[in-house]
Structure 1
Amino acid sequence: MDLSNSNIWCWILIILIGIVGFIVGYFIGKSKSASTPGGSDAVHKLEAENTKLKADLEASRKNTQSPKSSSQSESKTSKGKASGEKEFDADEAKAAMGKRIKKDDLKIVEGIGPKIEGLFHASGIKTWKALSKISTDKCQEILSSAGDRYRIHDPASWPMQAKMAHQGEWSALAKWQDDHKSGKF
């Protein structure tokens, strides 16, 4: 038997064992990821929830952008507020949110902290009403103008949350925030 011929078979055997090991490892890893909580079932659930949230957000945008009828804009409550607007009730807000709320505190919106609130104040957005009327693109523009560290924030729901706060829908806002804490379900 030729010595060089046996070396070739050793190398071929080593390569075949490596290929078989890779394939077996791949399938074992694939089966484990499908059975873990972070597997494909969770991904599909999150994708479905994301689709639902996008539809809710789009519906909310349409509601805020649709022109009000003249009867809506002219109808006033006894305190001079337009219909759909409520006088700020700190006790009602505290009861629903579980903490004291100051009127037009932008930090009540999930995702907005003191620094981001400062950015919005510097841009002239100082009230829930003002935040509820701007687009997500404008929110992103304000964040982007402050530098790269603010790009990680997703302001897609901020106008909607601000609208709920402005309209005094504290229970709805609290429920929404509980369901979407930091974007996690």
Structure 2
Amino acid sequence: MNLENLNIWCWVIPALVGIIAGVLGYLIGKGSNTSVTGNTANINVLETENAKLKTELENCNKKLSAAATLPKTKVTPASLAASVPTADSFDAEAAKAAFGKKIKENDLKIVEGIGPKIEELFHGFGIKTWKDLSKVSTTKCQEVLDSGGSRYRIHDPASWPMQAKMAYKGQWKELVKWQDIHKSGKY
């Protein structure tokens, strides 16, 4: 009787191990399938964005070739001044609509990557407005950061003058879109 019980266990134990292994394999396989699906979705989004950018590029190239066929006109300082957008007045409502919160004029903290302490550093260097910051080189921005000590070394000011220029010109939608695409203010 002892031998018969032993023979049954020789069949039951491998069968249980097989069933448990099968269930675990199924669960693990199902879990990895979701990550493949997620990657496929990311690839589809990137391919769609790439197609849009290619279309934009084609349109720009068409406009460029059309502009090349136009007759040349004499450019004067007065005509240049008329074509360049200016930021004569701050439109708080447009800024609020784009950002979803109240924006104060010349608040350097609107530039992604600049917080209250870094804003104070810029103020100490006489850079108090978006226009001032838009005219500063990246090297000068780094110099301002270095003046604050080693804790500011992690910041990358490469995009700050460009973001400040968008704010100065009142290009709120463009600024928000740029900040959404370039997380943490990096290119």
Alignment of 1:1-185 (within 5 A): 70-71=77-78, 75=82, 83-183=85-185
- Give the deviation of 1:84 after TM superposition: 2.9
Query: Is 1:72–1:83's contact at 8 Å kept on the other side of the alignment?
Result: no
Query: Is 2:98–2:176's contact at 8 Å kept on the other side of the alignment?
Result: yes
| 1: CA distance, partners of 2:134 / 2:171 | 13
| CA pair 183-140 structure 1, distance change in 2 beyond 3 A | same
Unaligned runs of 5+ in 2: 1-34, 47-74
**Structure 1 vs Structure 2 CA RMSD:** 3.2
Unaligned runs of 5+ in 1: 1-34, 46-67, 77-81
Which protein is richer in helix relative to its size? 2
- Give the deviation of 1:181 after TM superposition: 2.2
What TM-score comes out, normalization by structure 2 length? 0.56
- Give the deviation of 1:168 after TM superposition: 0.2
- Give the deviation of 1:180 after TM superposition: 1.4
Q: What is the identity percentage for the equivalent residue pairs of Structure 1 and Structure 2?
A: 64
For these two proteins, the number of residue pairs brought into alignment is 120
| 1: CA distance, partners of 2:161 / 2:155 | 14
Provide runs of 4+ in structure 1 moved above 2 Å. Answer: 72-76, 82-86
| 1: CA distance, partners of 2:76 / 2:117 | 38
- Give the deviation of 1:85 after TM superposition: 2.3
| 2: CA distance, partners of 1:85 / 1:179 | 25
Q: 2:86 aligns to what SS in structure 1?
A: coil
| CA pair 72-83 structure 1, distance change in 2 beyond 3 A | farther
Q: Deviations over 1:122-170 (max 9, x none)?
A: 1000000000001000000110111111111000000000000000000
Say which one has the larger Rg.
2
| 2: CA distance, partners of 1:74 / 1:176 | 26
